[in-house]
């Protein structure tokens, strides 16, 4: 079957004059400069008008325009959790982290990759000072699957493995036990406590935890995973707080000592390491790369849309 030719009505044909249509560079540049000047002028005059109206009308005047940021233009995600949802609440009561929220205290085992360098060990040894009931063990020659078994036998609730490559720490694996999910994070921008200007010393007080901006279902799972590492009853008198802030799928870890100057203002002194995490994968069950199922696996295709986030 041969497709018949389409007759385009000359009146209805759309003709455009954008810089893209013009092949001659000189003319094209002129046009684009003209358009840019027009746009700038329109923007300025619009702004001035709005200012005038605001002066005239006061509160009734046009509201200030909000800048468009990547966060404000974020692609709508249907997995954003409604905390009031009874289905979500039911699921929470029975998931892998529920034991922590019912009172079971965390017990963490921290280790590194095999034959770690100084940086990996140094970074790993910070965790026992941040987390309650945590202990660093040198890796020696054990396989991770074996280590998971040992930890389960000794009633550990979490396993953290710091991995380094070419001398620099590059990934962090948090495996919740006994059958919790395993999260693999990429670690970047590490600043050790002694390198923080004006920084203070960490103390033994049980830290409070702030987990910020985890909105989607996956984000909530990760947030709960972090929460289950920290003490359930922090020592408020110690005024020590750890923050895990998610922004654009990057999780920023900060630790501060705070002091209230007045009821609304607190001064902060930064302690502890600064580092940034990015979720690479979340695997169902304990560490098992061969036959484990992945709940979330970061693929290159996910980075294409700059306004789509998973946490």
Partner 1 sequence: MNVTVGSDSGVVKDKKPVGIYGQIQSSLEKELLTMSYGWDSNESELLQGYKDGTVKMWSINEGVGQTLGEIQLGATQAVRAIRTLADRRLLVGCENGSISLQKVTEEGDAKQLEQMSFSKSLYQLKVDQNDANRIAIGGKNSEISVFDIEKKQQVWRAKNAPNDMLGIAPLIWITDIELVGSDKIVTGTGHAEMRVYDCRKNRSPPAINIKLAKHPILSIKYSNQFENMIIIADSVGNVNSYDIRNGKSIGSYKGNTGSVRCIDVHPTLPLLATVGLDRHLRVFDIDSRKCVQTVYLKQKMSSVLFSAEEPPEPEEEEETTNGYAQQFDDEEEEEEYNDDGGIDDEENEQIWNQIEANAAVAVTKANKKIANKKQQQQVEEEDDEEDDEDFDEDAEFDDDDEGDSDDFGEDDSGDDDDSEDDDEESEEEEPVKSKKRPMVLLTPPNKPNSLKQIKTIS
**Where do we find the tokens 């919740």?**
176
Question: Is the Cβ–Cβ distance between 77 and 218 less than 8 Å?
Answer: no
**Cβ contacts of 122 within 8 Å, gap of 6 or more:** 192
Looking from the CA of 233 toward its CB, the CA atoms found within 13 Å total 4
Least Cβ distance, residue 125 to partner 1 (angstroms): 33
Nearer to partner 1, 24 or 76 (CB): 76
Least Cβ distance, residue 78 to partner 1 (angstroms): 4
3-state SS assignment for residue 7: coil
Least Cβ distance, residue 244 to partner 1 (angstroms): 22
- Assigned token pair, 14: 């759309």
Binding to partner 1, residues 257-276 (CB under 8 A)? none
Candidate list 23, 102, 301, 304; residue touching partner 1; CB under 8 A = 301
Nearer to partner 1, 10 or 58 (CB): 10
Nearer to partner 1, 105 or 179 (CB): 179
Report the alpha-carbon angle 95-99-100, nearest 5. Answer: 110
CA-to-CA distance for 46 and 51, rounded, in angstroms? 9
Candidate list 59, 83, 84, 87; residue touching partner 1; CB under 8 A = 87
CA-to-CA distance for 24 and 119, rounded, in angstroms? 57
Longest CA span, the chain:
83
**Binding characters for partner 1, 47-86, by CB under 8 A (x = yes):** -------------------------------xx-----x-
Nearer to partner 1, 209 or 280 (CB): 280
Q: Is residue 91 involved in binding partner 1 (CB under 8 A)?
A: yes
**Cβ contacts of 53 within 8 Å, gap of 6 or more:** 61, 62
Q: Is residue 96 involved in binding partner 1 (CB under 8 A)?
A: yes
Binding site for partner 1 (CB under 8 A): 1, 3-4, 6, 8-9, 12-14, 78-79, 85, 87-88, 90-91, 94-96, 179, 217, 284, 290-297, 299, 301-302, 310
């Amino acid at each position: 079957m041969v497709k018949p030719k389409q007759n385009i009505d000359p009146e209805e044909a759309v003709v455009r004059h954008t810089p893209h249509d013009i092949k001659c560079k000189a003319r094209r540049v002129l046009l684009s400069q003209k358009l840019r000047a027009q746009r700038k002028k329109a923007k300025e005059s619009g702004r001035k008008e709005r200012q005038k109206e605001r002066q005239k009308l006061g509160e009734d005047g046009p509201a200030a325009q909000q800048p468009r940021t990547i966060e404000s233009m974020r692609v709508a995600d249907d997995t954003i959790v409604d905390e009031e949802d009874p289905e979500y609440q039911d699921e929470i009561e029975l998931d892998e982290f529920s034991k922590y929220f019912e009172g079971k205290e965390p017990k963490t085992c921290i280790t590194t990759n095999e034959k770690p360098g100084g940086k990996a060990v140094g970074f790993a040894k910070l965790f026992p000072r941040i987390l309650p009931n945590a202990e660093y063990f040198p890796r020696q020659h054990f396989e991770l699957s074996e280590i998971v078994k040992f930890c389960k036998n000794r009633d550990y609730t979490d396993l953290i493995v710091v991995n380094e490559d070419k001398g620099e720490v590059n990934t962090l694996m948090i495996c919740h036990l006994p059958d919790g999910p395993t999260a693999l994070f990429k670690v970047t921008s590490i600043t050790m406590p002694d390198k923080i200007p004006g920084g203070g010393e960490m103390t033994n007080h049980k830290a409070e935890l702030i987990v910020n901006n985890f909105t989607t279902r996956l984000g909530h799972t990760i947030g709960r995973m972090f929460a289950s590492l920290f003490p359930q009853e922090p020592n408020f008198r110690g005024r020590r707080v750890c923050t895990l802030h998610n922004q654009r799928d990057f999780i920023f870890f900060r630790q501060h000592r705070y002091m209230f100057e007045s009821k609304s203002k607190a001064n902060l002194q930064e302690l502890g390491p600064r580092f940034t995490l990015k979720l690479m994968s979340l695997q169902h069950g304990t560490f098992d790369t061969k036959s484990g199922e992945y709940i979330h696996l970061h693929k290159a295709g996910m980075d294409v849309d700059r306004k789509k986030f998973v946490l």
